[in-house]
Amino acid sequence: MLFSLQFAAVQSYLTQRVADFLGKELQAKITLEKVFFKPFSTLTLHNLAVVETSGDTTLSVKELHASLNLRNFFNNKITIEELKLEEALLNYEVYADSTNLTKYIRLFSKPKTAKKKPSKKLELKIDKIQFANNKLRLINHKYKYPRRGVNFANLYITELSGTVDKIKIDSVKTARISKLTLKERSGFSLKELSSELVLSDHKMEFSKLVLRTNRSQLRDYLAFEYNDIKDFGEFIDKVQVTLLLKNSSVDSRDIAFFAPDVEQIRFFTEIKRAQLKGTVKHIVARDVDMTTAQHTRLSGNFRIIGLPNINKTIFDFDIAQLSSTAPDIELLVSQLSNAKTFNLPSALHHLKNIHYQGLFKGHYNDFDVKGNLSTGLGSLQTDAHIRIDKELAYDGSIKSNSFLLGDFVEQKFLGKTRIQSGI
pLDDT in tens, 229-271: 878 878 888 999 999 999 999 999 999 998 887 888 889 999 9
Q: What is the pLDDT of residue 3?
A: 47
Range of weakest confidence among 89-103, 366-380, 396-410: 396-410
How confident is residue 2, by pLDDT bands cut at 50, 70 and 90?
very low
pLDDT at 1: 46
Q: What is the mean pLDDT of residues 119-140?
A: 86
**pLDDT for res 362:** 94
Distance CA 183, CA 159 (A): 6
End-to-end CA distance of the chain: 98
The answer, yes or no, to whether residue 360 has pLDDT greater than 50, is yes
Determine the Cα–Cα distance for residues 422 and 399; give it in Å rounded to an integer: 9
Q: What is the CA radius of gyration of the chain?
A: 30
User: Residue 370: inside a domain, yes or no?
Assistant: yes
Give a yes or no: residue 316 inside a domain: yes
Flag whether 17 is in a domain.
Answer: yes
Cβ-contact 129, 83 below 8 angstroms: yes
Mean pLDDT of 193-213: 95
79-96: average pLDDT: 93
Domain range enclosing 391:
293-423
Query: Which residue type sits at 62?
Result: K
Q: 337 in a domain, yes or no? A: yes
Residue 98 CA, chain-centre distance (Å), reads 29
**How many alpha carbons lie under 13 Å from residue 41 in its C-beta half-sphere?**
4
The SS3 call for residue 97 is: coil
Residue 224 placed within a domain: no
**E-assigned strands of 141-280?**
154-168, 173-184, 189-199, 203-212, 217-225, 240-251, 268-279
Q: Are 188 and 214 a contacting pair, CB within 8 Å?
A: yes
Determine the longest span between alpha carbons in the chain, in angstroms. Answer: 107
Q: Give the mean pLDDT of 193-202.
A: 95
What pLDDT is stored for residue 11 in this prediction? Answer: 61
148 or 316, higher pLDDT: 316
Number of folded domains in the chain?
A: 2
Does position 408 have pLDDT exceeding 80, yes or no?
Answer: no
% pLDDT > 90, the chain: 50
**Can you tell me the distance from the alpha carbon of 235 to that of 44, in angstroms, rounded to the nearest whole number?**
41
Q: How far is CA 422 from CA 61, 374, 384, 393, in A?
A: 76, 19, 9, 13
Give yes or no for a contact between 199 and 174, defined as CB atoms under 8 angstroms apart.
yes
- Report residue 138's pLDDT band, with 50, 70 and 90 as the boundaries: very high
- What whole-number distance in Å separates Cα of residue 231 and Cα of residue 306? 19
- E strand or H helix at 283, and its extent? strand 282-292
Reported as a pLDDT band with limits 50, 70 and 90, residue 276 is very high
Residue 76, in any domain of the structure: yes
Three-state DSSP state, 11: helix
Note if the pTM is more than 0.95.
Answer: no
Does residue 51 surpass a pLDDT of 80? yes
Q: Could you tell me if residue 48 is inside a domain? A: yes
Please answer whether residues 276 and 304 qualify as being in contact, where contact means their C-beta atoms are separated by less than 8 angstroms. no
- What three-state secondary structure class fits 313? coil
Query: Would the pLDDT of 7 be above 70?
Result: no
Query: 345 preceded by cis ω (within 30°)?
Result: no
Q: Is the pLDDT of residue 59 over 80?
A: yes
Q: Is the pLDDT of residue 419 over 90?
A: no
How many CB atoms lie under 10 A from the CB of residue 184? 19
pLDDT of residue 33: 84
| Segment (H or E) for 368 | strand 366-375
CB 164 within 8 A of CB 181: no
Q: Quick one: average pLDDT of 363-392?
A: 87
- C-alpha span between 288 and 286 (Å, rounded): 5
Choose among 255, 388, 279: nearest CA to 334. 388
What average pLDDT does the chain have? 86
The stretch 166-178 carries a mean pLDDT of 91
> Does the residue 196 lie in any domain?
no
Residue 157 has pLDDT above 50, yes or no: yes
Confidence check: pLDDT of 180 > 70: yes
Task: Please tell me the predicted confidence (pLDDT) of residue 365.
Answer: 85
Task: Determine the residue type at 60.
Answer: S
Average pLDDT on 196-213 reads: 95
The model's confidence at residue 414, banded by pLDDT at 50, 70 and 90, is: low
The Cα–Cα gap between 313 and 303 comes to 10
Reply yes or no on whether the pLDDT at 113 is more than 60. no
